[in-house]
Amino acid sequence: MIVDSKIENKEIANQYKELLRISYQSLTPDDKKMIRLAFDTAVEGHNGQRRKSGEAYVFHPISVAKIVAQQIGLDATSIAAALLHDVVEDTIFTLQDIERLLGESVAKIVHGLTKISNLKKDKNISLQAENFRKMLLTLNDDVRVIIIKIADRLHNMQTMDAMPEYKQVKIASETLYIYAPLAHRIGLYNIKTELEDLSLKYTEPNRYTSIKKHIDESVNSQKNYINSFSKFVSLELKKERLKYLIKGRSKSIYSIHKKMQTQNISIDKIYDKFAIRIIYDCQRSKEKFIAWKIYSIITDHFTPNPTRLRDWISGPKSNGYEALHITVMGPLNKWVEVQIRSSRMHEIAEKGYAAHFKYKQGEQKDIGIDSWLNRLQEVLENNTGNAVEFVEDFKLNLYAKEIFVFTPKGELKSLPQGATALDFAFSIHSEIGKKTRGIRVNDRLVPLSKVLKSGDQIDVITSEKITPSNSWLDFVITSRARSIIKSSINDGKKQFTEEGKELLKRKLKQLKINLNKKTIHQMILFFKFKSSQDLFYNTKIGTLDNKQLKKFASNYHNSLINFFKKRIRSEKSFQENLSIEKYDNLVFGKEKEVLAYSFANCCNSIPGDSVFGFVTINEGIKVHQKECPNALTLQSNYAYRILPAKWVDSTSEEYSAILKLTGIDQRGLVNEVTRMISNNSKININKINFATEDQFFTGIIQLSVQNKNILNKLVQKLASVNGIDKIVRE
């Protein structure tokens, strides 16, 4: 690739000027001096380096800095750190150089970003889960580290076309798994949306293209709808002498995809593909009053849906988001969501963290990002368990909807929807949670597992004699509570664990077995323990006795030989079947190898499905659909065990598929369905069952079918039968 260095250098200089021009924060002369020094250092350090696309590498840190400056709106220190985020890892400059040139604050953030990149691999853990956990630990140092990392991931997602497909899928899966939820939790909604949409572009390109095309084609009709809505309310808003703006916001490609997936409907049946925003200007003290005035004006013209009112002005979300959301029956008798927010609220929704602190005032009560970061820090400090389990627990709370409850003194607390009384106790303080003896909700004693609802007032009763038990883990959903409970239980086990390890070592020695990593791993699998700690603990308390250990010893020496014999028989049988029958071929990896595999029970793939292989520890290769509920977790946490897979032929093997039909019962409907299936020589009915209740029927049909294309054509035909409302593949 031939590059004109003069043109390239001119473009680098232009990018720098634009960086200063678009900054959300007002930059002082000292700020500009700092950014210039960081820019010059980045240009010098990355000189000669190029990305896979061929462009100069320095364009990447400049682009990340632009996202940090404009879309997120952070300060000069953050912009400088973004420019230098890869310098220590990839160039001759050291952390000491950064501190000497730009000061301790910038160096601290760069150090946090470098720590994330330099993680040692360990074959016994999921590297990616451990990566996520250590990345979250940097929040203890400075939240700006994680925000710049999100900006870095966004730019990488925007420029991924030059990467091989398997890397695109891996990076996109990681993004959906942790980076998008983190962006959402910090309040970076626009970035969260872009991360999700770009991830879908690489994980399910056909679905992404189809939805995007549909949205692009509906732009004009959306504008016309907003105009017709505005016509009704603008006159009344002007009478109140309000400064306002009415505009539309399309539902994101990813959110449309999720709705299609969860409800099993086509895009044509999604009616809330966009929302209307009314953004108004007023004094801070009048924001709430004006919001409800606008609500009154809108509901005078359009009928509201009372179950869809969301008041995040009286009780903001825990990431600082404020707005009033209502759903009304708008023009053309269509339900439309209307979001009412002041310009300050809108800025917080757009910029998240930066705007939240820009508008924070004095002693203002804050249930926003500060309190969330404090709770998160305690979760991280208390967590000592398995990395994958930790990330799964943590991730559950990132997207969770919220409820608002009260302490006995009337203080407002936010918790994830579904949180229990025991979750509340731990949200107050870890020591209160650990000593919980009982809980009163609205002045009535309730079980610790009682699920709370908004408006509840909760009083925690404590006792010094109480300690957390394993059963408590069934009573909580928040990562904070789970982490503290596990940590407390582990502290109690530690002494027994050490003694148990020594005892097990002596017992195994008598059975002529050495206690090492390999033996420990085999014993965990053999006795079905979750960890080595459980193994040692159960040895100490006598649950694991001499009789069981002798049983393990008798299997120990033969296990490896038996494993290989079983594997050889399995592969031989597979190859024999392959040569006798002309079955559909599933091939794996770049070399398109034919390997022994079995289908995962969680998604029941058939030929034609988009699939991938997952190398398990004991059961060989398991084949999953790309839309499998477990796909995201596997691809994010165990990318090194993922095998790309592809169907390359479709001939005579038959696979089982189950269809669930629902709708309004019609005379002759079952006969019509069976006739339609029987007319297709490539499909057999194995089992059929229809049940009717109050004119509503449910039908389950088990079929033998060669591949997905044949099944899809059948579903299309069945959908045309009068009375059938929905068809779902089980």
Written as six digits, the tokens of 439 are 């809980």
Residues annotated as catalytic are 89-90
Output Rg (C-alpha) for the chain, integer angstroms.
30
Query: How far apart are alpha carbons 339 and 279 in whole angstroms?
Result: 8
| Number of other CB atoms surrounding residue 715 within 10 Å | 15
Instruction: Give residue for tokens 């990467």.
Output: 163
551's tokens? 């049983």
Both tokens assigned to 409: 């003194």
Q: At what angle do helices 189-203 and 143-158 cross, to 10 degrees?
A: 40
| Euclidean distance between CA atoms 459 and 421, whole angstroms | 9
CB 683 within 8 A of CB 704: yes
Q: How many helices (H) and strands (E) are present in the chain, helices listed first?
A: 29, 20
Q: Kindly state the tokens that stand for 90.
A: 């990839």
Residue carrying structure tokens 């960081």: 38
- The residue type found at 25 is Q
Alpha carbon distance 480, 373 (integer Å): 11
348 vs 187: CA distance, rounded Å: 8
Tell me if 684 sits within 8 A of 706, measured CB to CB: no
Q: Is the dihedral of CA 24, 27, 33, 34 positive or negative?
A: negative
Query: CA-CA distance, 85 to 72, in Å (whole number)?
Result: 16
Task: Please answer whether residues 138 and 116 qualify as being in contact, where contact means their C-beta atoms are separated by less than 8 angstroms.
Answer: yes
Read off φ and ψ for residue 145, nearest 5 degrees. -60, -50
Angle, vertex CA 295, rays to CA 291 and CA 299, nearest 5: 175
CA–CA distance, 450 with 439 (Å, rounded to integer): 9
Would you tell me how many other CB atoms lie within 10 Å of the CB of residue 328?
20
Are 260 and 267 a contacting pair, CB within 8 Å? yes
Tokens 């520890």 sit at which residue?
617
Length of the chain in terms of residues written = 730
Helix segments in 322-454, DSSP class H: 343-351, 353-358, 369-382, 387-396, 421-428, 430-434
Spatial distance between the Cα atoms of 438 and 424, rounded to a whole number of angstroms? 12
Closest CA to 609 of 684, 705, 707, 730: 707
CA distance 394 to 312: 24
The tokens for 172 are: 């996109």
What is d(CA 348, CA 60) in angstroms, rounded to the nearest whole number? 27
The owner of tokens 């700092």 is: 34
Contact call for residues 533 and 497 (beta carbons, < 8 A): yes
